[in-house]
Homo-oligomer: A and B are copies of this chain.
Amino acid sequence: MTEYVRILPDDLRRFTATCFIRYGVPSEDAELIADHLVLANLRGVDSHGVIRIPYYTEGIRKGYVRGRGEVKVVKETDTMALVDGDNYLGIPVATKATDLAISKAKSAGVAAVGARNLGHVGMLAYYTLRFARNGLVGMVSVNAPARVAPWGGSQALFGTNPISFSFPTSSKPIVVDMATSAIAAFKIRLAALKGERIPEGIALTKDGRPTTDPKEAYDGILLPFGTYKGYAISLVVEILSAVISGGTLSKYVFNHPSTQGGFFALALNPSILRDYSEFLRDVDTLVNLIKTCPPAQGFDEVLVPGDPEDRHYEDRVKNGVPIDLSTWKLLVEVAKDLDVELPKIIG
């Protein structure tokens, strides 16, 4: 028996959008959320895909986040904006903030937009890819419920605080999208399920002792990636995301998969200082240097950030999105509760 069911992306989008519409989300936003979550699955980022449907809807039911909101631009200049999300689902709020940054950077050259009071924004690459499709260099970050200790500390003060960058090239964009914790929370859960140990130096018990036991780690505290340097990046993300916008510090964000701290987006138009064709030529040269770099011992090839996700995408857009059975079970329950037709299993 297969561990997965396969679903066509269009059908999965239709299902996702309908679920959110049943929760009172305006249809345009429901379709945006569906597009976002299914893109995460297509890119292989399953932790940020349709598995979020039950969590986001639970967040709405329990009042952690709203299914409708009056999103307001509370401050705005030619180069900056501050969006208040009215505690609405994060994907439409962060998309609005991103699109503001895009239009401002196109004309002004650089733009920074912050957003506060919003739910979980999903996969950051969704936003930076939007910048790249518009010929812009983009950076996006969020802070999140506290799970990560500062380097040398024994209490969680930061979220997994992901950061994403994207750069256009002549072909597909370079896309960095990474948590600043040493490991993602869901990978610890997976290790616990499989009875495996986790590596040293990535987690502490809740009392601040180093551990390689995934159960202790899951109830405990994560460490930043790359020791004190990753800690510094994690702190930078915290300030950019929570403090620039007046969002909630990670320490005070309610811990649920539907919640978030603040959101920060920065866009830069590379064609202001140089001919865009010259910019692309030099990025392409760099990509080519990386792709033709001989692999080190133990490696088959050298990847550009975004390559693994692009490979998933090419496979899944053709062969359908694999949904693991535990996620599928959650979707079956959602479908029953809401009386929404399940997407068709194609394999």
Smallest CB separation, A109 vs chain B (Å) = 4
A233 beta carbon closer than 8 Å to chain B: yes
Task: Say which residue of B80, B155, B274, B303 sits within 8 Å of A272 (CB atoms).
Answer: B80
Task: Say which residue of B151, B235, B242, B297 sits within 8 Å of A208 (CB atoms).
Answer: B297
A82 beta carbon closer than 8 Å to chain B: yes
Instruction: Flag if A294 contacts B235 (CB, 8 Å).
Output: no
Smallest CB separation, A259 vs chain B (Å) = 19
A104 to B287, CA, bound (A): 32
A268 beta carbon closer than 8 Å to chain B: yes
Task: Say which residue of B114, B137, B293 sits within 8 Å of A273 (CB atoms).
Answer: B114
A227 to B294, CA, bound (A): 17
A231 to B230, CA, bound (A): 12
A7 beta carbon closer than 8 Å to chain B: no
A38 beta carbon closer than 8 Å to chain B: no
Name the residue of chain B whose CB is nearest to the CB of A104: B110
A: which residues have CB within 8 A of B? 75, 77-82, 108-112, 114, 137, 149-155, 157, 165, 167, 174, 176, 178, 180, 204, 208-210, 225-227, 229-233, 235-236, 238-240, 242-246, 249, 251, 266, 268, 270, 272-274, 278-279, 282-283, 285-286, 289-290, 293-297, 299, 301-305
Instruction: Flag if A109 contacts B112 (CB, 8 Å).
Output: yes
Across-interface contacts of A109 in B (CB, < 8 A): 77-80, 112
Instruction: Flag if A229 contacts B178 (CB, 8 Å).
Output: yes
> Max chain B CB contacts within 10 Å: which of A111, A176, A273, A293?
A273
How many copies of this chain sit in the oligomeric assembly?
Answer: 2
Instruction: Flag if B208 contacts A153 (CB, 8 Å).
Output: no
A177 to B242, CA, bound (A): 21
Task: Say which residue of B231, B242, B282 sits within 8 Å of A242 (CB atoms).
Answer: B282
Name the residue of chain B whose CB is nearest to the CB of A113: B273
Q: Given A226-B226, A244-B137, A282-B246, are A153 and B112 neighbors across the interface (CB < 8 Å)?
A: no
Across-interface contacts of A231 in B (CB, < 8 A): 305
Smallest CB separation, A276 vs chain B (Å) = 12
Name the residue of chain B whose CB is nearest to the CB of A299: B152
> Max chain B CB contacts within 10 Å: which of A110, A112, A157?
A110
